[in-house]
Structure 1
């Protein structure tokens, strides 16, 4: 697409890759989205989620006006109430009686003013963020090793490396653009090796030369054993260790007892595979270790990070092209939040709670109220709310009722809190509906500011849409409240550029190169035209790759080895499974954005539990039936997905589904509140659950023009689709009157005649309503999971239906002229499994050939592993 005069360069609002986006508004109100070929994070590539951004911009469900107690209010009244209530609460109970809970969805400018208000002028450390759930252990590990929260490397290193180690990272689904950069490099240099360390055989394993299906939480033992192995074979960099580090001897002393056999026992891996991995690491200088939530979301996550960093320090593989430890973040501005002190245990500009830093902020901000100690981290914060210690809470751009561990307790705590404010785009998230005051925030496409990606690259998010209704940017909302609380001079910002300039000035204030974060070179930069740039950006010197000189940000400028003792293997009690939570390919967080794009729900439209076949047999759980997962914290009801990709003894459930999209799919209700003692990050991948079959008497599938209402139905999962909605259903207790149930669910009056057929022998039944040539709804019921083609049924909502076709529709049978595309595999181009299989049988025997024929797999590439699997199945069938 050529860049027209109306095209705006902005940045994707999803993961921490930070892809550049070209947004071109159209006369009809739509927006054409394309990757920015000039942005150095993605060079024009977008994943399925980024490609569908234009489909998420509708005003459906938007919060358009301030509300108090569910009633529309003016901004003046709402802001006055927030400021007055916070001020009175502080006056009566002290500054620690209030708190802000933010999000990596906030822009840096939003984050900066929120942190400044709480830590600089209210005087409490009680501002934390959902980034605590995703990368706090990396922060803690970096600070222990480097003296600062510094990501050493660049995306370029992924292409320069000869060995890529992916630890606890399903990169092909969660960071697809980075994954495709690696795969392209591997195609150009076939000698590049990829090692995947993950309990599950995810799609990332498709291109891995070695998959180490490690036991949950076995990572520390694997890397501690690697440190011992490197020392024994003299594969360490003695000069670097002597000149640039401390603590090597103590770390090695702990590692000495971790021989191959002990590592194998702790990790569940074979001695042979461990030895191969250790050999590859020892012999490959250009090695990058990429790690993500499988490392961070653990009760020992910080130790895992330091075990990884230790082996890079031991070999001197840091600060040089194609090597280093690399934390990839989950949110678009998790890094920006870290920069401004958005975590409760940090001050702004990467400063810690040390007397000199507190005094520096006091003087820079001209405030005598700067917080003197860290505040409550996320899990602690909601515990304090439940205990009544925090009495006023402001939640910004996040949905903790669904994303926090012990989510049911979090909802109860918010309900019991004396005063809750929610700033959000959306009116009816599971969190927003609990608020006393709801403030309409501007969203992506309307906001103006900056974000920082996983490689420390700052990019602009620029507006290309007017904010709807009375929605306002978050920085403006916070600034207005701060002024009403008496801090007018300190919050006299008129535009985001003013905030960014102050943020940059603070980063350089009394910073003579002794602090890593420095934007002083951007203090006077032209904000609107700011190009993507990696920090530090100092007035006299900048660098894209950190630690090239072997100097770090510790008092003696030496990196620190951390002596890490591996924990005991994580073994579930008899009869229980280890619960692993995470993402799917096409959805994001709690689906407040991706849930609006029909094609993003076409791949996986309902919550599921991924189980190993042996566990399914043992627990009498059939594929595609319902499975109940429960423990002392709660219970969920999801679809069973039985697959050998899952490790025996574990179960994977995605974290996206909420009460808006499913009946009982809020998986974080089952996750306990255990946290890493160093980082405060919760262990979101190691809850213990009981799994068992939920014996449904009837299954259902439905398509409908209007959103149906399934209150009281045992199981439902609903998703937007082109022309309406689709829904999966199951009934443990059947309604006595199916016609009456359907009328209620689909909002059909008693006088409207429904068409219906039933087969008593098979127990199958269908009901439908047609008006003119349009299908209003169709419902298919069966004693077993319904076999109707979902994509065909969904397509009926946008067609003109001739009377002669109604019988076929009730039967659930596409006509001979309507081939069934099958379940969607490629969300970017809407290509189904049956289409790929037909092309494979017709001679397309490579992923590239499928791409030429159908375009599938040619955009973000995250479906390429599934395409390859379909090709292989059809090859085998042809051979038989």
Structure 2
């Protein structure tokens, strides 16, 4: 018998609905929910692979204090006592919470209520600060509320889509495929991509503006200047100042500032001005800047000025990066806001105090993410509770964050993984529920609230985050205010607060859901807020004067400046098959087959200048730190700029942490770090050897060996490189174990090793001066079933498979595991289009993320 539970994907802010099909035997299959309006059944490769992340290997399943397992009551009693002692001695501002867009709204609400409502300090912030806080500032300055005035349906109704600082094809694949389909159905619709890099998103672009990194604001300020002559309605606050600045940004000045052809700039401006309906989709490339808030307002300004807002197919649409970044904003999870879109003014503080029955409401904003950990480093914050996130990897200047946590008297971490970079510094470890075990709600980019439902039992002693918060709150003396027994009770309180003394003055209002029974809550269908308002009149100003505001924006370049010591500008971002710090996706073998290790994308001209070659290794350094990556030479990159993905942690690489290079420079309004621009230098590294290593047991690597972990079931698998003697190292590994070592070498060009014990393969190492070409599938298979004949063992020693097996090559389609060599063979046999490849190999027929690469191979 199969039981089907409808839930929501735990990855990006698209908020796709999923169905979990569980059987009596315990097996689980994941598919898209065809009834969910965010995705109508479509999933990206990460969502489709969710079923492969549900195992308990590597899970944190029991509470620990100082590395020792303890019972829950002792863990909670001891933690509460330590928190209370710090509050008593140093005050409430010595305590901080750092939450995550991975938390459910109910978890977030509980944490925010405890910190701001009863501990009495504003010191709760979230990793959403790193992705969406500039967008929040932009909306609040323009509209008076954090209100996204768009929906996904607008994509089917617009005439022009502008993607600014967004590689949606990889970061929001399902939404991107919806845009692809809309353009196929309405070919007259124009698509403009504004990005220094040529990414997979550019495949559908009618115009790609590969502008100077960080110069985006000038494009929109100059566009406002063009619009001012004919389209600006005189109803906006700030209009005079905004237009005075814009008047200076002529076509020539804008093109020069952005380092673009003036014809292309003019084309973009004409398309926007002439389009009846236009949308601008933007994300990290806009937000992660020292002037990100101003960039957001520059975008909003042109939509307000042209009237392309508040009607179907129009508006500035910030795409959230996490499944519940929006929900965290709703409950007040950012340090500079109170719950339910209330602020730190006297009336809101008093209102919240009345609702919660507390006289300890925080009266001033707390510390934002980067400054919070700086305060930890200075010793001003003496206790920090980190919930469901990995700041040691995701925050800028990672080494300083590590130093801060190492010296913090009390570090509480609630997480699902047993090992993360951050957990190394935890005094207290709380085992949290993972996706599939959690029960609550999330809100996606278009303000749609969806249910995340549990379909798996809680493993070990794992508990919901809201439960942990409530238990600590009760031990701090606040039992009555935190006496919840089920997430429905928390949601009802949250919904009631959204309508409390609101009377239409706050955008966020879901109070009609406050009286849902538990059964109704369990059955809740996806719904957009504000629910009390009637379509299509949702969009209006929530500012006291009732007017929208044009925010004066003076374009400026990033604070990071290239010089003769650090001559390149580094851009960081996401890749197609990985998610954040890889604690979930990094353990799925097929999701590490497309891109196996950190890479540095560089323009061919720069590659020649700095002496690096495609697939070679390179050391990257900034004023903050360094890392090692594999080179990808590509004319998709601008000269003078390089790109490195942000996912690899110390769990998956030695010296792969890109945020160790990024400075903690932040937007003064939003506190969002400038993660997109860092001045760096690169140096070619030609190690003595590089290769692949497989082992049945964990490997003890010598300090000088660089390694990158590959996910493989039952086998330790690494890519490696070093300047040391590989044979000496392998012999040390094997020494004293009684293993039989089989070797092959070729005049110093390569060294291959197999170690056997009682007929079973224990170790396989393939090293060479350049990356060796081996059949990894065949090597992994040998650990499951060892070859019996001498001929097969010699083939394995050579890194080859038996003749019946074919090497598929580097994975292109992760959904169906289709490799580059297989695709090229199909092209050679007559497949001349993406459709023909899909019909023969299935590649490109699921999430569609591999289609740009298929087109490249076809060319």
TM-score interval, smaller chain:
over 0.9
1:128 and 2:115 matched = no
Task: Indicate the residue corresponding to 1:663 in structure 2.
Answer: 654
Q: Does structure 2 conserve the Cα–Cα contact (< 8 Å) formed by 1:790 and 1:822?
A: no
Residues 791-817 of structure 1 show CA distances to partners (whole Å, capped at 9, x for unaligned) of: 554454455523231111111233443
**Greater mean deviation of Cα atoms: 158-167 or 118-127:** 158-167
Task: Indicate the residue corresponding to 1:625 in structure 2.
Answer: 616
1:546 and 2:535 matched = no
Shift of 1:739: 3.2
> What CA distance in whole angstroms lies between the structure 1 residues aligned with 2:253 and 2:561?
16
**1:298 alignment partner, one of 281, 289, 296:** 289
Report SS of the residue matched to 1:585: coil
> What CA distance in whole angstroms lies between the structure 2 residues aligned with 1:495 and 1:583?
35
Q: Does structure 1 conserve the Cα–Cα contact (< 8 Å) formed by 2:283 and 2:319?
A: yes
Report SS of the residue matched to 1:859: coil
Q: Does structure 2 conserve the Cα–Cα contact (< 8 Å) formed by 1:108 and 1:333?
A: yes
> What CA distance in whole angstroms lies between the structure 2 residues aligned with 1:293 and 1:336?
18
Residues 319-339 of structure 1 show CA distances to partners (whole Å, capped at 9, x for unaligned) of: 111110000000000000000
1:559 and 2:559 matched = no
Residues 409-438 of structure 1 show CA distances to partners (whole Å, capped at 9, x for unaligned) of: 001100100111101111111101211110
Shift of 1:133: 0.3
1:842 and 2:829 matched = yes
Shift of 1:29: 3.1
Structure 2 gaps, min length 5: none
Q: CA RMSD in A?
A: 1.6
Residue correspondence of structure 1 range 375-414 to structure 2 within 5 A: 375-414=366-405
Shift of 1:194: 1.1
> What CA distance in whole angstroms lies between the structure 2 residues aligned with 1:711 and 1:34?
43
Report SS of the residue matched to 2:655: coil
Task: Indicate the residue corresponding to 2:588 in structure 1.
Answer: 597
Task: Indicate the residue corresponding to 1:733 in structure 2.
Answer: 724
Q: Does structure 2 conserve the Cα–Cα contact (< 8 Å) formed by 1:537 and 1:543?
A: no
Task: Indicate the residue corresponding to 1:863 in structure 2.
Answer: 850
Residue correspondence of structure 1 range 621-770 to structure 2 within 5 A: 621-735=612-726, 737-743=728-734, 749-760=736-747, 763-770=749-756
> What CA distance in whole angstroms lies between the structure 2 residues aligned with 1:741 and 1:859?
47
The TM-score with structure 1 as length reference comes to: 0.95
Shift of 1:737: 1.1
> What CA distance in whole angstroms lies between the structure 1 residues aligned with 2:723 and 2:536?
58
> What CA distance in whole angstroms lies between the structure 2 residues aligned with 1:25 and 1:776?
36
Q: Does structure 1 conserve the Cα–Cα contact (< 8 Å) formed by 2:443 and 2:450?
A: yes
> What CA distance in whole angstroms lies between the structure 2 residues aligned with 1:709 and 1:659?
15
Task: Indicate the residue corresponding to 1:814 in structure 2.
Answer: 801
Task: Indicate the residue corresponding to 1:80 in structure 2.
Answer: 77
Residue correspondence of structure 1 range 487-502 to structure 2 within 5 A: 487-502=478-493
Shift of 1:546: 3.2
Q: Note closer, same or farther for the CA distance 1:170–1:689 as it changes in structure 2 (3 Å cut).
A: same
1:166 and 2:163 matched = yes
1:786 and 2:780 matched = no
1:530 and 2:527 matched = no
Q: Does structure 2 conserve the Cα–Cα contact (< 8 Å) formed by 1:735 and 1:741?
A: no
Q: Does structure 1 conserve the Cα–Cα contact (< 8 Å) formed by 2:644 and 2:658?
A: yes
Q: Does structure 1 conserve the Cα–Cα contact (< 8 Å) formed by 2:2 and 2:22?
A: no
Report SS of the residue matched to 2:403: helix
**2:562 alignment partner, one of 563, 572, 579:** 572
Q: Does structure 1 conserve the Cα–Cα contact (< 8 Å) formed by 2:739 and 2:756?
A: no
Report SS of the residue matched to 1:559: coil
Shift of 1:756: 1.2
Task: Indicate the residue corresponding to 2:841 in structure 1.
Answer: 854
**Greater mean deviation of Cα atoms: 316-325 or 639-648:** 639-648
Shift of 1:537: 1.4
> What CA distance in whole angstroms lies between the structure 2 residues aligned with 1:543 and 1:502?
25
Q: Note closer, same or farther for the CA distance 1:689–1:524 as it changes in structure 2 (3 Å cut).
A: same
Residue correspondence of structure 1 range 371-450 to structure 2 within 5 A: 371-450=362-441
Shift of 1:734: 2.7
> What CA distance in whole angstroms lies between the structure 2 residues aligned with 1:714 and 1:277?
49
> What CA distance in whole angstroms lies between the structure 2 residues aligned with 1:73 and 1:352?
40
Task: Indicate the residue corresponding to 2:63 in structure 1.
Answer: 66
Task: Indicate the residue corresponding to 2:28 in structure 1.
Answer: 31
**Greater mean deviation of Cα atoms: 257-266 or 337-346:** 257-266
Residue correspondence of structure 1 range 111-150 to structure 2 within 5 A: 111-150=108-147
Residues 823-866 of structure 1 show CA distances to partners (whole Å, capped at 9, x for unaligned) of: 00010110001111111122211111111111101111011000
> What CA distance in whole angstroms lies between the structure 1 residues aligned with 2:247 and 2:548?
21
Task: Indicate the residue corresponding to 1:483 in structure 2.
Answer: 474
Report SS of the residue matched to 1:308: helix
> What CA distance in whole angstroms lies between the structure 2 residues aligned with 1:465 and 1:251?
54
Residue correspondence of structure 1 range 311-322 to structure 2 within 5 A: 311-322=302-313
Task: Indicate the residue corresponding to 1:877 in structure 2.
Answer: none
Task: Indicate the residue corresponding to 1:242 in structure 2.
Answer: 234
Report SS of the residue matched to 2:3: coil
Q: Note closer, same or farther for the CA distance 1:420–1:315 as it changes in structure 2 (3 Å cut).
A: same
Residues 313-354 of structure 1 show CA distances to partners (whole Å, capped at 9, x for unaligned) of: 011111111110000000000000000000000000011111
Q: Note closer, same or farther for the CA distance 1:544–1:729 as it changes in structure 2 (3 Å cut).
A: farther
Q: Does structure 1 conserve the Cα–Cα contact (< 8 Å) formed by 2:776 and 2:799?
A: no
**Greater mean deviation of Cα atoms: 4-13 or 475-484:** 4-13
> What CA distance in whole angstroms lies between the structure 2 residues aligned with 1:562 and 1:242?
14
Q: Note closer, same or farther for the CA distance 1:763–1:53 as it changes in structure 2 (3 Å cut).
A: same
Q: Note closer, same or farther for the CA distance 1:837–1:123 as it changes in structure 2 (3 Å cut).
A: same
Q: Does structure 1 conserve the Cα–Cα contact (< 8 Å) formed by 2:99 and 2:387?
A: yes
Q: Does structure 1 conserve the Cα–Cα contact (< 8 Å) formed by 2:290 and 2:673?
A: yes
Q: Note closer, same or farther for the CA distance 1:469–1:451 as it changes in structure 2 (3 Å cut).
A: same
Structure 1 gaps, min length 5: 873-880
Task: Indicate the residue corresponding to 2:788 in structure 1.
Answer: 802
> What CA distance in whole angstroms lies between the structure 1 residues aligned with 2:26 and 2:580?
26
Q: Does structure 2 conserve the Cα–Cα contact (< 8 Å) formed by 1:117 and 1:482?
A: yes
Q: Does structure 1 conserve the Cα–Cα contact (< 8 Å) formed by 2:734 and 2:755?
A: no
Q: Does structure 2 conserve the Cα–Cα contact (< 8 Å) formed by 1:447 and 1:461?
A: yes
Q: Does structure 2 conserve the Cα–Cα contact (< 8 Å) formed by 1:152 and 1:545?
A: no
Residues 461-505 of structure 1 show CA distances to partners (whole Å, capped at 9, x for unaligned) of: 000011111000000000000000000000011100000000000
Residues 333-381 of structure 1 show CA distances to partners (whole Å, capped at 9, x for unaligned) of: 0000000000000000011111100000010001000000000000110
Q: Does structure 1 conserve the Cα–Cα contact (< 8 Å) formed by 2:562 and 2:679?
A: yes
> What CA distance in whole angstroms lies between the structure 1 residues aligned with 2:754 and 2:249?
65
Report SS of the residue matched to 2:285: helix
Q: Note closer, same or farther for the CA distance 1:822–1:298 as it changes in structure 2 (3 Å cut).
A: same
Report SS of the residue matched to 1:246: coil
The TM-score with structure 2 as length reference comes to: 0.97
Q: Does structure 1 conserve the Cα–Cα contact (< 8 Å) formed by 2:416 and 2:431?
A: yes
Task: Indicate the residue corresponding to 2:443 in structure 1.
Answer: 452
> What CA distance in whole angstroms lies between the structure 2 residues aligned with 1:318 and 1:709?
58
> What CA distance in whole angstroms lies between the structure 1 residues aligned with 2:537 and 2:619?
48
Residues 707-752 of structure 1 show CA distances to partners (whole Å, capped at 9, x for unaligned) of: 43324143110121245243111012335614324437xxxx5311
